[in-house]
A and B are shown apart, each in its own frame.
Chain A
């Protein structure tokens, strides 16, 4: 079975540009999570969805960040405008709804804002 699929794998762009990260969760999974990982702050939860509905976006750092999940098989994380401090690895993960289910991670998007 296919795992969580993220695109692009790498993104290099200039400050001020819009960045869109994409994620396809594992089929049948009810939860979808967006994380950001840096050396300084470790793995941070940005937002998560249950059945396409955002449950908690308290980890979204600023209004420049937005996330959508228009259907069960697709989610986007958008940064507009991007800043150098947004440079990080962004992971998407998904899981089943039952209690005690682990999360499965995609390969991540390595984002560099120049």
Chain B
């Protein structure tokens, strides 16, 4: 059973700060990692994907992957109140579970003005 763990939260940061969201996964062979954002009452929306060790930047978002430590994180710079949402980490399945994503429980982020 693949496990994806996220820091439990909730996480609260002031506007303009850096929000750091963390995720660990149990399956060493996982190759694809995703961050989804889910606003209250809405569906999960893909915001970042990362496949290689290191950092991947997209605007104010940076995803970081360390496969040796089985760790993936999402940094949100210059956090805005509109970033307030639940962030879900997802990890791909392989072999017989190819196509499937394993989701963490999510971390609720609140950015206060």
Contact = CB atoms under 8 A, between A and B. Distances in A.
Contact of B99 (A48, A91, A106): A48
A60 interface: no
A95 interface: yes
Nearest to B88: A43
B36 to A, nearest CB: 8
B72 to A, nearest CB: 14
Interface centre among B31, B90, B99 (most CB of A within 10 A): B99
Chain B, interface SS category: loop
A91 B38 CA distance: 12
Interface string B52-86: 00000000000000000000000000000000000
Interface string A88-114: 000100010101111111111000000
Nearest to B102: A45
B7 interface: no
* Chain A: number of interface residues, binned into ranges: 20 to 34
B32 A103 contact: no
Interface residues of B, number: 22
Contacts of B101: 102-103
A50 B97 CA distance: 11
A50 B99 contact: yes
A105 B44 contact: yes
21 contacts: A31-B99, A43-B103, A43-B106, A48-B99, A48-B100, A56-B97, A95-B99, A97-B99, A99-B32, A99-B94, A100-B31, A100-B32, A101-B99, A102-B46, A102-B49, A102-B90, A102-B101, A104-B46, A105-B43, A106-B43, A107-B43
